[in-house]
Structure 1
Amino acid sequence: MSTLLRPPSVNPSQSAIENTLELIQLADIDPNLFTNRRPLWHPVGARGIYGGAAIAQTLSAAQKTVEPEFTVHSMHCYFVLAGNSEIPIIYHVERVRSGKSFATRTVQARQRGKVIFTTTISFVRQNSAGEKVLQHAVEMPDVPGPIEDKDDLDNGADAGPFQSQILGIVNHDSPHPHTKKTRQWIKARGTISPAGGHEAHLAALAYMSDSYFIGTVARVHKLWRYAATRKSHTKSSIDEDVLKKLLAMDDEDLKQIKSLNNHDLERIRKLKKGKEQGKPTAEIGMMVSLDHTIYFHDPREFRADEWMLSEIESPWSGDGRGLVFQKLFTRDGKLIATCVQEGVVRLRQDTDAAKSKL
């Protein structure tokens, strides 16, 4: 059973992402307990549920325990265990501090008594800094604007709760991965309801902030991992059984697989050629997020259902881990969030005995 109570039908007055992230407060048990109202998405090939769901729902739970004049400005998260999409999640909010200008909450996501995700979230009272404030912000890069009807995540019947348009990689041919940047336009699908308030937009941004994030490390190194669907980019590791079957096929058979685009075909051909020449190409064997931090800037001055530009770079990788930074801008150029994530990024080893485990 993936939820404690039978999931209700989709609420047409809410956007898809609001329906996805809806919580139930277990007030009769404890006013600080919440649970997911609908099943959570488990990307194909991933170790567990999409990490953005845990990030967003812990934020939603915490937002329900602070006064209306307080708004989130930062959250620091740790992925502890892979979440199981077949088991309800219980979110426990601890009201650590409620001060005049700042409030602090910690939230644990638990399944079967075990913590799978934990975060500490800080809220600030609106306009508590006074009339005189220091201000500066990095400028948004000059990029082509989004195309309204284009959605790289739309695979037909099972469209997700947000849209994306992938842009090219800056400095793609550079031999230095740390000089490259990946970019995409993202927004929540449909229109977020007025009833959701600014809290719904913040939760939606938190959900989308995990899209294409740690995977940037693989992309700036021009490494590849097979994913069974285009939507499984968020946290999937290579499906070795499927990859072995693909490598055994000839070119004509590969062309008949509709889920493979031209980029996938070229990558598979490269892997096959390397293996035939005795020079196997490096492949990602494991990619899992460890932590995730979001700093919200002007948190009530944006809409998550309007196009936002995400720019991601990776300043470092080593020792089986990688680090990524993300900046999120409104379409008109305002910096609205800065995110940081570290994750496990391990290459496939030559022998099973050499493979490490978490």
Structure 2
Amino acid sequence: MDDLVRLLDLEALGDDRFQGVSPPVGPQRVFGGQVAAQALVAAGRTVERTRTVHSLHGYFVRPGDPEEPITYAVENIRDGRSFSVRRSVAQQHGKVIFFMSASFHRQEEGLDHAEPAPLDVPAPDEVPTMAERFAKYEDRAGIWAVIPRPIDLRYVGEPGWVPAGDRPAEPRQRVWMRLDGKLPDDPVLHTCVLTFASDLTLLDSILSAHGAVWGPGGFIGASLDHAMWFHRPFRADEWFLYDTVSPSASGARGLATGRMFTLDGRHIATTVQEGLLRRVGG
């Protein structure tokens, strides 16, 4: 958890520019959730604290190099009476790797309704931990078994990295998540951690619809874009359910949508992402 908090504590370079780094051990390219979360941190540093982010829309343009720092340049699009809009651009080696638009809103009173949370879901302590799953599939866990995991993930069904044939087709994928530690009472930090976590499993739901898997015997993939809407206050260090589904996949691209619910059933966020999925060796 401390490593993730440090990862989100960007260095200020002046003129609404910031710099972030990647973990010393990780995948060959920068994790998309990290770039999105850091871009949101940069944007949030330029907005009044009384205004909280309610939506973000980002595009992954190039793979990030984990060996090089990432520079984030924030453009002030507008500060109105109720809303502030920022554009945050991530660059490496002089080229854009990701850009995001984020909108911030001062708190207001209004209508309040939400779809109910799923009822037929076992509690977090009733499903296997990642360590228990890795013990069963040591040959498939790969780098994910050794890199730090600041987010505690509890898959209700089978994860996408199990061997081909071990994952039944399921129309929905559901995962319990929470930060593995206690965060300060900073809503901005909790929102950025939730943004980081939102990219961990979302594309899995596309594969889940077909009983497909990542890696040998399955697919490789990459996030193309990412959008989030934040509905209600929450804590990222308390359990929330990530309920995801894929409404469509075609032409090597798949669309995934997700809803996040607290343990007591409050709908806190919604996500949408399109991903590129190609068969391994194809």
| TM range, smaller chain | 0.7 to 0.9
**Contact 1:153/1:159, CA 8 A, preserved across alignment:** no
Q: How does 1:77-226 map to 2 (within 5 A)?
A: 77-127=58-108, 130=109, 133-142=110-119, 143-147=121-125, 151-152=129-130, 158-168=147-157, 180-194=171-185, 197-226=186-215
- Tell me whether 207-216 or 160-169 shows the greater mean CA deviation: 160-169
1:342 aligns with 2:282: no
- Equivalent in the alignment of 1:20: 7
Give SS of 1:216's match.
helix
Residues 116-157 of structure 1: CA deviation (Å, up to 9, x unaligned) = 000000011112xx4xx2221011112111119963168777
Q: Distance in 2 between matches of 1:42 and 1:220?
A: 31
Q: Distance in 2 between matches of 1:290 and 1:297?
A: 24
- Equivalent in the alignment of 1:290: 224
Q: CA deviation at 1:346?
A: 2.1
Give SS of 1:54's match.
helix
Query: Which residue type is aligned with residue 17 of structure 1?
Result: L
**Residues 1:148 and 1:305: Cα distance change in structure 2 (over 3 Å):** farther
Q: Whose strand fraction is larger, Structure 1's or Structure 2's? A: 2
Query: Which residue type is aligned with residue 11 of structure 2?
Result: I
**Where do 5+ consecutive residues of structure 2 fail to align?**
135-144, 159-166
The number of aligned residues is 262
Runs of 4+ in 1 over 6 A off after TM superposition: 154-157
Residues 305-339 of structure 1: CA deviation (Å, up to 9, x unaligned) = 01110011000000110000000011111000000
Which of the residues 10, 18, 22 maps onto 1:39? 22
- Equivalent in the alignment of 2:139: none
Q: Distance in 1 between matches of 2:7 and 2:239?
A: 19
Q: CA deviation at 1:39?
A: 2.8
Q: Distance in 2 between matches of 1:24 and 1:220?
A: 41
- Tell me whether 152-161 or 304-313 shows the greater mean CA deviation: 152-161
**Contact 2:168/2:211, CA 8 A, preserved across alignment:** no
- Tell me whether 117-126 or 153-162 shows the greater mean CA deviation: 153-162
**Residues 1:348 and 1:157: Cα distance change in structure 2 (over 3 Å):** closer
Report sequence identity in percent: 36
Q: Distance in 1 between matches of 2:60 and 2:208?
A: 22
**Residues 1:297 and 1:42: Cα distance change in structure 2 (over 3 Å):** farther
Q: TM-score, normalised by structure 1?
A: 0.68
Larger radius of gyration: 1
Q: Distance in 2 between matches of 1:312 and 1:187?
A: 16
**Contact 2:25/2:147, CA 8 A, preserved across alignment:** no
**Contact 1:106/1:120, CA 8 A, preserved across alignment:** yes
Q: CA RMSD in A?
A: 2.3
Query: Which residue type is aligned with residue 136 of structure 1?
Result: H
